[in-house]
Amino acid sequence: MQQPIGIGLAGLGNVGAGVYKHLLANRNLLRERLGLDLEVRRIAVRDTARRAAEGFPAEILTPHWRDLVEDPSVQIVVEVMGRKEESLALILESIARKKVVVTANKALLAEHGREIFEAATQYGVPVFYEAAVGGGIPIIKALREALIGNHIVSIHGIINGTSNYILTRMQEAGLGFPEALAEAQSKGYAEPDPSFDVNGWDAAHKAVILASLAYGFWVPTDKIFVEGIEALTSADFRFARQLGYGIKLLGIIKAKSAEFGSEIEVRVHPTLVPEKHVLASVNGVFNAVAVHGNVVGETLFYGRGAGQDPTSSAILCDIAEAAEALVNPRRNLGFMPHGLYGSCKPLDEILCEYYLRLCVQDRPGVIAQIAGILADLHIGISSIFQPESEDEGSTVPLVMMIHTASHAQIGAALERISALDCVRKPTQMIRVEHFS
């Protein structure tokens, strides 16, 4: 048995504490399976006195993350601080000193992945990031290794547990968005400031990582479309169910072909999902990622996407791989760029089907006016229904399912429809996915 491999842990919040706890509890198991011993030698945390009082060994605590980088006994640096500037500096310095890096920082990878892996290539140091997407679901390893012989046709992911819990409660209990959010916060599923969960950007950062890994280039965050769940109402769920759909916040990643320089789609938004599709039944705080490879066909990865234990499990996997990489250096440093794909498809050119919910005056000719605008823009209607109103002249919902159209087409249509005097409120528009 070789000398223990030294680990430096940067951050001791919920995830960091879980990693430390499980490394201690499973040290013998990891030793038997790896043939390597792993030992935490340094922990960087701001309040060392408080952490020492909680039982963490005072002799390995430090308030400075640079102590991890400068400690020659630390060979693997685990970054779970969850910050940007400090975390980026820590990772880049660790790489420059030939220390293998493990991180769960999805926002950092999405925004600085190119820079991080250019440094990794320059110094020949691998970076592992399984916990950045899907918590305990091994989706990064699957894309990087298990599906390496596949062109990835598409990825559809429910990759934010907070938003999925909120949408589940809106669908099952008929709650409005504010009530469902308050319930999620009371149960600890949503942060006091839930912005990144409900506005779609937490899922978007994860989608950028998946897309970049699948298609071989780092996708710019300003080239993707992101829309949150804040505008959804209980009425949308009621009407969607009548039409045979559920509503999920989906990360959608697609490639038209495997030709050199071909475009890909990367978008995150509320989506009508057919009730018979497996993703429609993924409820609560669970995550799921459906990957379609051109060789393997459809695959599904399902599990808890957040929380101390699932995230710690993914980080332990990365630490084990990092230890093996120290003993047996590898060519794949965590991201392999290639030139089969070149750019993101412009939003206006992306094709979808759509659900529209309008609030209109209940009088003759309204449907004809709206249908006329759609026809002028070469947009087809696949179905339409309008609940009966008690009094002629009152406002009523008008629900339309729209055939495939571009974002530019539907945007132009909604602009003209909103100018009609019979339309009393902004139109709700939700994209529809059939997974074909």
Residues with catalytic roles: 206
Q: Phi, psi at residue 363, to the nearest 5°? A: -150, 160
Residue type, 87: S
The C-alpha atoms of residue 79 and residue 9 are separated, in whole angstroms, by: 6
What size, in residues, is the chain?
436
- The residues facing 341 across adjacent strands are 262
**171 Cβ partners below 8 Å, 6+ apart?**
237, 241, 246, 247
Phi, psi values for residue 312, rounded to 5°: -60, -40
In the chain, what is the greatest distance between 2 CA atoms, to the nearest angstrom?
Answer: 84
CA distances (Å), origin 301, targets 156, 353, 372: 11, 26, 44
Residue ranges in 272-307 assigned as alpha helix (H) = none
| Integer angstrom CA distances of residue 43 from 59, 199, 382 | 9, 33, 59
Instruction: Tell me how far CA of residue 323 lies from CA of 46, 157, 207, 334, 367, in angstroms.
Output: 27, 30, 28, 14, 65
Give Cβ neighbours of residue 14 (< 8 Å, ≥ 6 apart): 308
Closest alpha carbon to 171 in 233, 232, 237, 230: 237
DSSP per residue, 403-432:
EEEEHHHHHHHHHHHHTSTTB-SPPEEEEE
